Amino acid sequence: MRTHKLHELAKTIRSKNAGVNKITFDIIFRDRENYERVKRSKALSRESVAALYRIEPQRISDFVEYDPGYAIKFTIYRLRPSGCAGDGDIFGAQQYAPLLDLEVAA
């Protein structure tokens, strides 16, 4: 089976604050086909993203397959709320990069 990098299959891969204590990640596909393909592959799951970001699965507050938007999204708790001194990403906007090269067997 061929593998693809997630960025080859997704139209948008982004992260952003969801409130002051969470960061939410959206992986959005251009069409149903690619969306279903990635869904079926199980490359994105609570467990896989916890492993990728090296966090406990409990830090993932939500993991949603959002059919109307051909999107998979998950949300993690921050260790400290946004904008505390030392926070390198107040908007949470640059946390998605490790997803780009995620291998998808599909």
Complex with other proteins: residue 1 or 71, whichever CB lies closer: 71
Pick one of 5, 8, 47, 52: the residue that binds other proteins (CB under 8 A). 52
Query: Shortest Cβ distance from residue 49 to other proteins (Å)?
Result: 11
Q: In what order do the strands lie in the sheet with 22-28?
A: 12-17, 22-28, 71-77, 60-66
Q: Rounded to an integer, what distance in angstroms lies between the CA atom of residue 40 and that of residue 105?
A: 9
Q: Choose one: 2-10, 37-45, 61-69; the region binding other proteins (CB under 8 A).
A: 61-69
The alpha carbon of residue 43 and the mean position of all alpha carbons in its chain are separated, in whole angstroms, by 11
Query: Which parts of 71-100 interact with other proteins (CB under 8 A)?
Result: 71, 73, 75, 77, 79-91, 94-95, 97-98
| 103 contacts: CB under 8 Å, gap ≥ 6 | 3, 4, 5, 6, 43
Q: Rounded to an integer, what distance in angstroms lies between the CA atom of residue 46 and that of residue 64?
A: 10
Query: Which parts of 31-50 interact with other proteins (CB under 8 A)?
Result: none
Residues that bind other proteins (CB under 8 A): 12, 16-22, 24, 26, 28, 30, 52-55, 61-62, 64, 66, 68-71, 73, 75, 77, 79-91, 94-95, 97-98
